[in-house]
Amino acid sequence: MDQPVMIGIDIGTTGIRSVAYRLNGSATAIATEEYPLFTDQSGIAEQDADNIMMALEAVAARTVQLLETEAVQIKGIALSSALHSFLALDEQGRPLSRLMTWADTRGQIVLEELKGQLDTQALYRRTGCPLHPMYPFLKIYWLKRQQPAQFAKAAWFGSIKDYAFQRLTGKRVVDRSVASGSGCYNLQTLEWDPEVLQVLGISKDRLPLVVPTTTQYPLQEKLAAKLGLPAGLPVIIGAGDGMLANVGVGAVKAGQMNITIGTSGAIRMAADQPKTDERGRTWCYNLAEGRWMLGGAINNGGVSFRWVRDKFAETEQRVAQKLGLDSYSLLASYAQKVPAGSNGLIVLPFFTGERAPYWNADARGMFFGLTLNHDKRHIIRAILEGICYRMKSVLASLEEITGQAQEIRVSGSFTRSEVWLQILADVLGREISLPNVEEGAAFGAAILGFYTVGLLPSIDVTADMVGIKKVFKPNLADTAKYEQLYSIYQQLYWNVQQQFHLIADYQRNETHV
In order along its 513 residues, the chain shows pLDDT tens digits of 689 999 999 999 889 999 999 999 999 999 999 999 998 888 899 999 999 999 999 999 999 999 999 999 999 999 999 999 999 999 999 999 999 999 898 999 999 999 999 999 999 999 999 999 999 999 999 999 999 999 999 999 999 999 999 999 999 999 999 999 999 999 999 999 999 999 999 999 999 999 999 999 999 999 999 999 999 999 999 999 989 999 999 998 888 999 999 888 999 998 888 999 989 999 999 988 888 999 999 989 999 999 999 999 999 999 999 999 899 999 999 999 999 999 999 999 999 899 999 999 899 999 999 999 999 999 999 999 999 999 999 999 999 999 999 999 999 889 999 999 999 999 999 999 999 987 789 999 999 999 999 999 999 999 888 999 999 999 999 999 999 999 999 999 999 999 999 999 999 888 655
Residue in 19, 3, 15, 14 with CA at minimum distance from that of residue 446: 19
Cα(62)–Cα(394) distance, rounded to whole angstroms? 38
Does pTM surpass 0.85? Answer: yes
Residue 30 lies in a domain: yes
CATH number at residue 195: 3.30.420.40
Burial class of residue 399 (count of CB atoms within 10 Å of its CB; 0-12, 13-18, 19+):
middle
Whether 361 is covered by a domain: the verdict is no
Helix axes 440-452 and 241-248, enclosed angle (nearest 10):
80
Residue 131 inside a domain? The answer is yes
208/305 Cα distance (integer angstroms)? 36
Helix (H, G, I), strand (E, B) or coil at 53: helix
Instruction: Name the nearest CA neighbour of 141 among 95, 86, 191.
Output: 86
Q: Residue 273: helix, strand or coil by DSSP?
A: coil
Task: Indicate the DSSP class of residue 197.
Answer: H
Q: Smallest Cα–Cα separation from 26: which of 42, 8, 40? A: 8
Name the domain count of the chain: 1
Query: What's the pLDDT at 512?
Result: 55
Residue 483 counted as domain residue? no
Q: What does the pLDDT look like over 49-71, one tens digit per residue?
A: 999 999 999 999 999 999 999 99
b/e 156-166 (16+ beta carbons within 10 angstroms → b): bbbbbbbbbbb
H-type helices in 147-266, by residue range? 148-153, 160-169, 176-180, 194-200, 221-227, 241-248
**Does residue 60 belong to any structural domain of this protein?**
yes
Query: Residue 420 corresponds to which amino acid?
Result: W
Domain of 220 in residue numbering reads as 5-243
Q: Give one word for 123, left, alpha or beta, with left for phi > 0 and alpha for psi -120 to 50.
A: alpha
502, part of any domain = no
Q: Is residue 205 part of a domain?
A: yes
**Do 394 and 357 touch, CB atoms closer than 8 A?**
yes
Task: Specify if 349 maps to a domain.
Answer: no
